[in-house]
Structure 1
Amino acid sequence: MKTQIPAPIIALIAKHMSQVKTHADLDSMFMYADAPGDPPEGSKPVKCQDWLRRTNVESSTPLAVLGKLIEEEMETPDDHHSQLFGSPPGSLSRETFQRKTKEVLERYDLVYRIGGKVQSAVGMKGATKSLSDLIKGRELISIDMEFERAIDNTNTEPREACSAACNILESLFKIMIDEEKLDKPAKQDLKNLWKPVAEYLNFDPKRIEDNDLRKILSGMHSIVDGVGALRTHASSAHGAGKQIYKLEPRHARLAIHSAHTLAMFVLESWDKRKDPGF
């Protein structure tokens, strides 16, 4: 289910933008943000309200539109003219708009991120530990949330989402190699990092008698190959080459969910090896 732009945010934007922007500015901003349809008729406050309400109804990703719409106001400090002469009468300063927007978003479990992104903040509040700390502490729920953050980006940034999923696996494998003093591969890519981890955890399909489990373990090796290759060839991590993959959100979700399943099994198998009674 898509998350709609909260009504208080619509009211706040309509009030602020209508006082600091011209009609032409508003048209340009909404078009840049991919708001659906032509500019509504009416005054500037009415135009803002109607366009945002239409976005909630017609757009498949209203929060993506919202993020781009407020990007400039959220990331640019008050300009020199405003500092010298103040804001238009009755309007909010840019600093005040930024603060109020963040406060309203927080009430709806949303957060603004640099780059024009408004996303769910569920599971992010109070997150002070790094991914490395989460892995070392075997905090599976928090690691789940790291994958959820990747999922949040699949519709708008599938390439970056795939890159994030690969990064989580790489971090996991590097930490295990360090803690267990395994042989470090000369090349620190996902496929080579996986080899000592798989060997340490006895993930060699040839050693498994059960044919069904053997097939699943073989699939794990394919996941590592696929996620690593997808990141290299199609994600943003290494830049775009001459051939651009047409990576769609469904492809990104497949990669992320596969990486998540593998990461959880590796962590549980790691604990099982260290403590057979686990």
Structure 2
Amino acid sequence: MDFEKYNLLKNKEIAKILDGDETFGDFESTNANPYFGFSTLKIGLPRLSGREICDVAKMFGSTLEYDGNNSRWQYMFDLIDYGVKSGRIDNMLAYLFDDSNFVRNVNGLNKDEFERFHSKSVESALERINTLLHFGGNKLIIDGKKVHIVSVNPSTPKISVKNVKTIDRNYIKSLSDRAVTNVDSGHYDSALTQARTILEETFDYVLEKRNIQPSSKGDINKLYKQVKDEYKMHENKNADKRINRLLSGLENIVSAVSEMRNKNSDSHGVGESRLTIDKHHARLAVNSATTMADFILSVEKKSAGDNNY
């Protein structure tokens, strides 16, 4: 097995998920005793101190010692390094997601509540990590007692409409809400990545509804051109010029979100071309992508004869 691929996890944003720094909202418990403070229990992987991260490494044979000189994400990098070198990284990651890693912090939950909390936390953490890995063509999956990094598209399957994931306004809103939460939390890089995901998944969906293979995911502008050509979204000289101006603006949204994501998102390192954006700019990118996705879904529904577009 190619364990070197797990080095992709040495990303500060991913480390913050694995060590429990990043959370995904409040867990709504109906049975937990408020005395324990679980009314504000946060969804996410258990928060591990630097010492606890070193203890996890020792469980798998490492001699990693806690010296108090590093940040928690640095100890997580050390954990990943040891796992890769020892060939045990798949088992070590599995432990972080396993329910046995969760029991230390949720003793007040009953069995059903604990299982629901564990499931929601693992699902949310995986989704977030895979958002970060997605544009490199990889994803993290749990397979029993091991966690693997696999290619998203090792081969291109034949598309069948019956297998296409349904994307609707509620789904787009859920993506948008998570992106806005990142904006409010100051995670602008993540919000930009999610803005692009909103567009890309919508473009893929409307093309697949026509049994058309989407072009390479690496170039969202080409993907949008496919959508525009297929659904005949070109400017119409007989249409109101104000409508045509709106349509031309859509292309600007795609280009801007793509460029901002490439130069500022969490999937790229810091460099001379990295942009510095403010909160209102990140929110504008998310809202623009959401509005465009809603419009594209309406175009597809109208094209399919659905009057409720």
Using the size of structure 1 for normalisation, the TM-score is 0.54
State the distance in 1 between where 2:235 and 2:195 align. Answer: 24
State the distance in 2 between where 1:136 and 1:208 align. Answer: 36
- Deviations along 1:40-97, whole A, 9 cap, x unmatched? xxxxxxxxxxxxxxxxxxxxxxx9xx999x83259958958xx9xxxxxxxxx98544
State the distance in 1 between where 2:262 and 2:232 align. Answer: 27
Q: Rate the CA distance shift 1:133–1:12 in 2: closer, same or farther, 3 A.
A: farther
State the distance in 1 between where 2:267 and 2:251 align. Answer: 21
Q: Helix, strand or coil for the counterpart of 2:47?
A: helix
State the distance in 1 between where 2:162 and 2:267 align. Answer: 23
- Greater fraction of residues in helix: 1
Q: Partner of 2:294 in structure 1? A: 264
Q: Partner of 1:98 in structure 2? A: 105
Q: Helix, strand or coil for the counterpart of 1:141?
A: helix
Q: Which runs of 5+ in 1 are unaligned?
A: 14-62, 84-92, 118-131
Amino acid of the structure 2 residue aligned with 1:72: L
Q: Partner of 1:72 in structure 2? A: 48
1:245 is displaced (CA, Å) by 1.2
Amino acid of the structure 2 residue aligned with 1:256: V
State the distance in 2 between where 1:166 and 1:207 align. Answer: 30
Q: Rate the CA distance shift 1:143–1:133 in 2: closer, same or farther, 3 A.
A: farther
Q: Partner of 1:254 in structure 2? A: 284
1:141 is displaced (CA, Å) by 1.4
Q: Rate the CA distance shift 1:221–1:135 in 2: closer, same or farther, 3 A.
A: farther
Pairing partner for 2:181 from 152, 156, 162: 152
Q: Helix, strand or coil for the counterpart of 1:98?
A: coil
- Whether contact under 8 Å (2:167, 2:202) holds in the other structure is no
State the distance in 1 between where 2:192 and 2:289 align. Answer: 9
Map 1:175-194 onto structure 2 (within 5 A). 175-182=205-212, 184-185=214-215, 188-194=218-224
State the distance in 2 between where 1:177 and 1:114 align. Answer: 29
- Deviations along 1:173-208, whole A, 9 cap, x unmatched? 123223324475467411110001012222212445
- Whether contact under 8 Å (1:163, 1:235) holds in the other structure is yes
The answer as to 2:234 corresponding to 1:204 is: yes
- Whether contact under 8 Å (1:163, 1:236) holds in the other structure is yes
Work out which of the two has the higher radius of gyration on C-alpha atoms and give 1 or 2.
1
Q: Percent identity, aligned pairs only?
A: 23
1:152 is displaced (CA, Å) by 0.8
Pairing partner for 1:227 from 257, 261, 268: 257
- Whether contact under 8 Å (1:182, 1:196) holds in the other structure is no
Q: Helix, strand or coil for the counterpart of 1:261?
A: helix
Q: Partner of 1:239 in structure 2? A: 269
1:137 is displaced (CA, Å) by 2.7
Q: Partner of 2:225 in structure 1? A: 195
- Whether contact under 8 Å (2:167, 2:205) holds in the other structure is no
- Whether contact under 8 Å (1:176, 1:197) holds in the other structure is yes
- Whether contact under 8 Å (1:162, 1:252) holds in the other structure is yes
Amino acid of the structure 2 residue aligned with 1:272: K
State the distance in 2 between where 1:222 and 1:140 align. Answer: 22
1:165 is displaced (CA, Å) by 1.3
1:236 is displaced (CA, Å) by 1.5
1:168 is displaced (CA, Å) by 2.1
Q: Partner of 1:88 in structure 2? A: none
- Deviations along 1:10-43, whole A, 9 cap, x unmatched? 9858xxxxxxxxxxxxxxxxxxxxxxxxxxxxxx
Aligned residues: 195
Map 1:108-187 onto structure 2 (within 5 A). 136-154=165-183, 155-182=185-212, 184-185=214-215
- Whether contact under 8 Å (2:164, 2:209) holds in the other structure is no
- Whether contact under 8 Å (1:190, 1:228) holds in the other structure is yes
The alignment yields a C-alpha RMSD, in angstroms, of 4.5
Map 1:27-46 onto structure 2 (within 5 A). none
